[in-house]
A and B are shown apart, each in its own frame.
Chain A
Amino acid sequence: MEQESSKANDPNPPSELVDATQAAPGSDASGHSRRVFLFNVALFLNGIVGTVLAIPIIGYLLGPALRKRSSQNAWIDLGAASDYPEGETRLASFRDPFSVPWDGQTAEVPCWVRRIRGNDFQVFAINCAHLGCPVRWFAQSQLFMCPCHGGVYYADGSRASGPPARGLFEYAHKVVDEKLMILAGKLPTLAAKNCGGPRLTQIQPTAATEASAAIASQKPGDDSWPA
């Protein structure tokens, strides 16, 4: 556009270069069309080679997203169920089931284990449901607090206040041979569809005992990730 409007007095020397290429001397007309055809064939050939080359490269790049769901989580031993006192919430950690040797410290993943009573457990991901920061448990006030944006959760993982849109992420768990096992491996984020919505009901502040009884009667693993 600028070329057209200012052809007469374009201040820019490069426009002369453009003109020069346009005015390239024409070649031998008879051989020309054949060479153009061969060049087009060569372009087409390169297009095919390029496509064949690109497909596996794209596959390589998308690899992590194409993993099977079954290879994103695995059952992990969190130790003897009796290590977790009833009525308490303890920090535990497990080794990332898909760790590589150069993971270093990042292969150890923390989580919060709440033993309600007997074999009733809840295992929460460390990551705040808002933006993934590590939540901390305060036994005295029975709250999880997040240091980043102030998300707060109740003992059962349900949202108490702050920016999170839902309760804490929970791992599916089972007790096998007196050992607590959880299904973990994938970083819990809002995108993981099976994390479920905030289904845990917020505790209504009635008498403390009633509420905790209500939690205890909840089916554990309700909000957890299916295998």
Chain B
Amino acid sequence: MAGMKQRMGDLYDWFERRLGLGEAITDAAEHPVPSKTSSWWYVFGSAAAVLFMLQIVTGILLALVYAPTAGEAWNSLQFLDHNIRLGWYLRALHGWGSDFMVAVVLIHLAQVFLFGAYKYPRELTWIVGVFLLLLTLGMAFTGQVLRFDQDAYWGLGIGVSIVSRIPWIGGALVDILLGGPILAGPTLSRFFALHVFVIPGILLALVALHLWMVLRLGINEWPMPGRLVSKKSYAAEYHKLTEKTGIPFVPDAAWKDAVFAAATILAVMACALWFGPFGPTGQPDPTIIQTAPKPDVAFLWIYAVLAYLPANLETPMMFIAPAVIILAMILLPLIFGEGEKHWSRRPMAVLMLIGVALTLGIFTRLGMYTPWSPIMDAWSKEPVPVAYLKDRTPVERAGAIVFENKQCRNCHSLGGEGGMRGPALDGIASRMTEDQMIRQVLQGGGNMPAFGNALSPAETTALVDFLETLRAGRVPAAIDASRNVAESPQPQPEKTIPPVQPER
């Protein structure tokens, strides 16, 4: 055994004399870091890097089978899922790895922001990190396109529709993105090149740069309230923390990174096994229009924001807001490069982080159930609740049929079933008078189309008669006070006007 060990040592020496990498790597691994940075808060960057490696490996493995043409991509995904041994698992690993990578990169960014790690001298590390985030999102989007199904086809349509609104160059950019006049074969080939060559190439280079700067400038020390960052004294202070009281990165600090990375990969594997791969949903046939396209989870918040922006704000917001956000992130370390790092002394930073997290969370949640979308088949799927038809006159029941037949249900729910685009109509008669309902139905308004062209007078009467029966529990029907005045037989105010009920 001793001879074996000796021979292995000789072999290592043979390579080391020629490569000379061993010493550099050992130095880098064992470089001293401030002792308090051995923390479970400092593990997200390395986990993101490990996830990136997982994505590269699984991506290459998928590329062994995937057919990157618009005509065959969807079929090759089916083939991967059903005909290739464990193909579904590789797809699931890559898909879940993508979601985890986006999440871990965001958490890493939040942690770095909260710990003031972007301050001097790590400004450029942060700026490169901002581009790493954008590239990660770019990978997520282009990856979703490669899963060339209905969602991918129409999602890409949404993407280029956004791009088309860029003033002056929008049209040319759409053509370049699509690779032709319309979304077709050349489009997928382009996104394949982006997803597999262009973005990963840039991502690899920037990850290397990011890591190089982390090694060169050292890991951010644990922030202490009152310990201010100053360009004059920082290097000496950091030197004291590392050289005098520091610990070697490997193994004293790195074991936590390693444990967390392993746990992350384990979680990806568990999700892949349990939930399986994403899609593919229906085939990318544009003539199958029975679809409600939705982006992947990382972009649901954008999808939600686009539903709520008023038309005149939409185009400016689409371009000004992202530009401002990205510029602010890039300028952040250059403007606030010194001073306090500890979160307890940076209340605005903490508030901003909470605000951004809540905003993203709320819009993502909204994007999951899309209350703004009409439910296209609600009118033919959900009958009017029986309770709403009990003891009703024939005209009122005919109105219920009109209600279903004219697709009112796609936007308005009854008994909890139906669209959420418009208000639920269960208690509508308590809120609107007959006249108001007739006007609303015929003329629309308030984001409701006018149905004047689609309803005959008889249908309108029946519909409104039916709606008049929909009262919220014992709440009385809404009344129009002035109508009472107008219809009162004797215009003698003291006697005939009934007590006016507040109209709602």
Which residues of A are in contact with B by a Cβ distance under 8 Å? 1-2, 5-6, 9-14, 61-62, 64-65, 67, 72-73, 91, 93, 96, 98-110, 126-127, 130-136, 138, 140-143, 145-150, 152, 154-155, 160-165, 185-187, 189-193, 203-208, 211-212
Contacts and interface: CB of A to CB of B under 8 A. Distances in A.
B217 interface: yes
Contacts of B411: 150
Given A9-B239, A72-B181, 12 more contacts: A11-B238, A64-B175, A64-B178, A65-B172, A93-B287, A131-B161, A132-B160, A142-B454, A148-B154, A190-B165, A191-B163, A208-B456
A133 B293 contact: yes
A157 to B, nearest CB: 13
B418 interface: no
Contacts of A130: 161, 306
Contacts, number: 257
B185 interface: yes
A98 B187 CA distance: 13
A130 B310 CA distance: 11
Contact of A140 (B121, B286, B306, B406): B406
26 contacts: A2-B235, A13-B27, A72-B181, A93-B286, A96-B184, A104-B70, A104-B284, A106-B153, A106-B185, A110-B286, A126-B289, A131-B157, A133-B158, A133-B293, A134-B286, A136-B376, A138-B410, A141-B407, A147-B376, A161-B449, A163-B310, A190-B165, A191-B163, A191-B166, A192-B171, A203-B452
B181 A191 contact: no
B372 interface: yes
Interface of B: 27, 69-72, 74, 120-121, 153-154, 157-158, 160-166, 170-176, 178-187, 216-218, 231-232, 235-236, 238-239, 242-243, 283-287, 289-293, 303, 306-307, 309-312, 314, 372-374, 376, 405-408, 410-411, 421, 442-444, 447-456
Contacts of B232: 5
A73 B175 CA distance: 13
A143 B121 contact: no
A163 B311 contact: yes
Nearest to A97: B181
By Cβ-Cβ distance, the 10 closest A-B pairs, closest first, are: A104-B71, A205-B452, A6-B235, A189-B164, A160-B449, A191-B171, A191-B164, A132-B157, A65-B172, A191-B170
B291 A147 contact: yes
B419 to A, nearest CB: 8
B69 A102 contact: yes
B176 A14 contact: no
A191 B181 CA distance: 12
B405 A140 contact: yes
B453 A208 contact: yes
A126 B442 contact: no
A8 to B, nearest CB: 8
A131 B158 contact: yes
Contacts of A162: 447
Contact of B154 (A93, A105, A133, A161): A133
